[in-house]
Structure 1
Amino acid sequence: MSDQRGLFIYGIVPSDVEPSPDVPGVGDPPGSVTVVRHGPVAVLVSEVAPDAALGRPADLTTYQMLLDGTAAVAPVLPVRFGTVVAGPDAAIELLDAHADRFAAVLDEFEGRIQYVVHGRYEESALIRRVLDDNPAAAELADQVRGRPEEVTREQRIRLGEFIGRAVELRREAESRQLIDLLATLAVSTANRPPSHELDAVNVAFLVDADREDEFVDAVEEFAEQRRDLVRMRLLGPLAPYDFASAHQVTG
């Protein structure tokens, strides 16, 4: 490998992991993904130019696809996106400095995958619920209905505050109910911040692979009970991004 090229690091894996031949890495043009081994652990890497701009959406997609594909067959500890080291020697130094910790984390992730349950309220259905449940909000809605914005500005602001607070309270309740429902089916949970003001739930779960079907069935039941109010999505299986932060590697 050229001394002028760095190594982009994707994740820490057991030393017996072999990347598929010709898997493309990040960058333009992309380098092939290879592995640097040290004792019981290894790191998935690809060469990048020293001046490479590694912030494109395509690069993030490549990074995620590689880690998600790896997590389907072996434990993986994701490394923060954008981490680049000087070369193989620097990668080995990283592994050597944290070998025991990395091995312990990989043992923890063995046979486990991440899912994310994300739900967003249908705005019109949510507003109907808020107005049905709150006479004060319903009265404000009547005051602004069909009237110019400039003469109902104060009422609109107050109505928006009612709706915003209602979303926060419902989000807290929905997230608690979801976590309680899945508590026996998940090893760990991580609440994610809302990605949108109308988010109902956004929770990551670390799941034993042998309970995956039970977990998915339970999420589908949760979603069905709320289908008139919340658009639910189940994302996964994924690499354990939300459970790697305590062991984060920055290079």
Structure 2
Amino acid sequence: MADTGTYVYAIAPEAGSPRPGGLTGVAGAPVRTVGRASLVAYVSTVPLDRFGEEALRHSLEDLEWVEETARAHHRVVEAVAAAVPTAPVRLVTVYSDEEQVGDLLQRRHDDFVALLSQVAGRREWGVKGYAERVGPPAPAGGDVSGTGSPGTAYLRRRQADLRGREDTWRHAVAEAERVHARLSAVAVADRLHRPQDPSLSGREEWMVLNGAYLVDDDRGDEFAAALESLRGHGIDLELTGPWAPYSFTVLDTGTTGPEGTAGPGDTP
């Protein structure tokens, strides 16, 4: 049984694609290309005792390992995307050998060409929106109505606090929807991702927006200016990018092993 696999980072058109040169990828492995049907895949060799299906089940639970791997993966993708239209492949996508990768390029040629055409001349921007987890201050001690037991007074203060939190949440969500609509008008495509857990975002506030926007290169400044005009209305907006178009090139590549989902917005 083979003890190594072929890790895939990205797919690009053969014409104009940069040579990997001294580029290194995950686990410090040198990057090379596999070409077929006018396409190239950027790959490296990885040990299956660390990147095989069973090993990955444990590795993906190690946030430090995931962070290190995601950074190396992203470094390769960005190096390619700086030169040509690029379809990033999901984190830790591993094939048995180069021949299997070449077969993928041949079999899914039309799908890859369509994806690369869609993202040509465009980059991905990420926007996250956060709202404070607060409501209006609860009434001071005692019965808010002036009558009743301390227990009743506590319940009324608790209900007032919950109503305040609900109002804050509704306002934040409405504002996030307004921000998303405005930014989507500048982008050619958009995606709404699930809110991140605080352990990934590094923030304790509610995440009410986790959007990705595919923007023409010549409209990047316009997109950033649109976001700036939306600040100061109850949610804190965080802009990242421009990135390779991770959110707009998702394609089932047919691997059977576990695949991560980390993209630029998820990488610490």
Q: What is residue 68 of structure 1 aligned with on the other side?
A: 78
2:10 aligned residue? 11
2:105 aligns with one of 88, 95, 100: 95
Give the whole-Å Cα distance in 1 for the aligned partners of 2:20 and 2:12. 14
Tell me the amino acid that sits aligned with residue 12 of structure 1: I
The alignment partner of 1:52 has SS state of: helix
Give, in whole Å, the separation in 2 of the partners of 1:46 and 1:176: 41
Q: Which runs of 5+ in 1 are unaligned?
A: 132-137
SS of residue paired to 1:118? strand
Partner of 1:237: 242
Query: Residues 109-124 of structure 1 correspond to what in structure 2 (within 5 A)?
Result: 109-123=119-133
- Please say if 1:199 is aligned against 2:207: yes
Aligned residues: 227
Q: Show the 5 A alignment for 1:1-251.
A: 4-16=3-15, 17-27=17-27, 30-53=28-51, 55=60, 56=65, 57-123=67-133, 127=135, 131=136, 141-142=138-139, 154=155, 158=159, 161-195=162-196, 196=198, 198-223=206-231, 225-226=232-233, 229-245=234-250, 247-251=251-255
Aligned to 1:135: none
- State the secondary structure of the residue aligned to 2:107: helix
Q: Summarize the Cα distance change of 1:77–1:158 in structure 2 as closer, same or farther, 3 Å threshold.
A: farther
Q: 1:21 to 1:160 in 2, by over 3 A?
A: farther
Cα displacement (A) at 1:165: 3.0
CA separation of 1:162 and 1:248: change in aligned 2, threshold 3 A: farther
**C-alpha distance in 2, partners of 1:61/1:153?**
49
Note if contact 1:12-1:42 (Cα within 8 Å) is conserved in structure 2. Answer: yes
TM-score, structure 2 as length reference: 0.75
Query: Could you tell me how far apart the structure 2 residues matched to 1:26 and 1:41 are?
Result: 22
> Residue 113 and residue 143 in structure 1: after superposition, are their counterparts in 2 closer, same or farther (change >3 A)?
same
Q: How far off is 1:87 after superposition?
A: 1.1
Unaligned 5+ segments in structure 2 are: 52-58, 143-149, 199-204, 256-268
- How well do the aligned residues superpose, as a CA RMSD in angstroms? 2.7
* 3-state secondary structure, aligned to 1:113: strand
Q: Is the 8 A contact 1:37 1:43 kept in 2?
A: yes
Q: Quick check: 156-165 or 207-216, which moved more?
A: 156-165
Cα distance, 1:200–1:93 mapped onto 2, change above 3 Å: same
**Distance apart, 1:180 and its partner CA:** 2.4
In 2, distance between residues paired with 1:10 and 1:157? 51
Distance, in Å, in 2 between the alignment partners of 1:25 and 1:153 is 58
- Deviation of 1:68 (Å): 3.1
Q: Secondary structure at the match of 1:73?
A: coil
For residues 90 and 216 of structure 1, do their structure 2 counterparts lie closer, same or farther at Cα, with a shift above 3 Å needed?
Answer: same
Q: CA deviation at 1:155?
A: 5.2
Decide whether the 8 Å contact of 1:25 with 1:32 is kept in 2: yes
How far is the alpha carbon of 1:51 from its aligned partner? 1.1
SS where residue 82 of structure 1 aligns?
A: strand
**CA separation in 1, counterparts of 2:154 and 2:36?**
65
Aligned partners of 1:12 and 1:41 also within 8 Å: yes
**Which residue identity is paired with 2:226?**
A
Q: CA deviation at 1:154?
A: 4.5
Distance 2:49 2:174 in 1: 47
SS at match of 2:194: coil
